[in-house]
Structure 1
């Protein structure tokens, strides 16, 4: 058993020596070729810019989400018989025109709020064939057709499929990160063995 440990230690030291040589060669190449070094800096700058753009895009989406939620809250406060987070019911066809004609809320806020409201899972679930649609007073104003109900079912399936794919991708990325972390940890252990 002791011989096996010695063989592993010798092989590890040999590999570490080879790694040191490769690092020295790479450093020498960097010193000899400043053009490559400047290209590396450019690549790093581009990557940094891409990360910044991604962060700004995320911030922009977050701001839009906040604005949409604020507009939706205003709509729910102004028309509590029609808009609700809990008792979601199908809206009258053409309700946007009714809201614009009522002039209680700005046009851009109406569009934001309606877009947010009708794209929720609760709203899609409320679109059952024959269900009553409601107007601004909360009164019945038409019914949901079979075709509209089928469309809503399709949207629900699509949303669920996208969620599954996103969850699957996140699990895959997490597994890759854990694998990378394990490899890094093992390399650090090897480096520490050499230092002894």
Structure 2
């Protein structure tokens, strides 16, 4: 399923905001689990730096980030969570790993189904009506 242009634009904006102002923490290509409560830290930091973003804008960008497959996959693997400074700040719990596993399992299942549904021509069975002559 292709993303709509509006959704792609929102993702680009979220990436620019998060990686642009908090690049030591947010890496869309290689996400790490985030500290629990990082939203509050981000809002405080934005106010301290006089950034023109309120809690709603930051929350929306953060939600786009954490609902992505790669982020959930990182949580599923488990490791240290990172704070706004990019340093370890907490750990992923077993319950959080299990939840992330259910989230990624749905996507993994769809991807496996698509691979089975679309076989390369080289794997397709020959038509029984054709001869080798």
> What is the TM-score normalised by the length of structure 1?
0.49
Q: CA deviation at 1:94?
A: 0.8
Q: CA deviation at 1:149?
A: 0.7
8 Å CA contact 2:14, 2:65 repeated in 1: no
Report Cα offsets for 1:11-33 as digits up to 9, x if no partner: xxxxxxxxxxxxxxxxxxxxxxx
Aligned to 1:106: 54
1:151 aligns with 2:99: yes
Runs of 4+ aligned structure 1 residues displaced above 3 Å come to: 162-165
Distance of 2:11 and 2:78 partners within structure 1? 29
The 3-state SS of whatever aligns with 1:108 is: helix
Q: 1:138 aligns with which of 71, 86, 99?
A: 86
Instruction: Identify if the C-alpha distance between structure 1 residues 108 and 93 changes in structure 2 by more than 3 Å, giving closer, same or farther.
Output: same
Q: Which has the larger radius of gyration?
A: 1
Aligned to 2:8: 65
Distance of 2:87 and 2:107 partners within structure 1? 30
Q: CA deviation at 1:107?
A: 2.5
- Equivalent residues, number: 111
Distance of 1:75 and 1:136 partners within structure 2? 11
Q: CA deviation at 1:138?
A: 0.4
Higher helix share: 1
RMSD across aligned positions (CA): 2.5
Aligned to 2:38: 95
Q: Tell me: higher relative CO, structure 1 or 2? Use CA pairs within 8 A at least 6 residues apart.
A: 2
Aligned to 1:80: 23
Q: CA deviation at 1:129?
A: 5.9
Distance of 1:73 and 1:158 partners within structure 2? 28
| Structure 2 residues without counterparts, runs of 5 or longer | 119-133
Q: CA deviation at 1:146?
A: 0.9
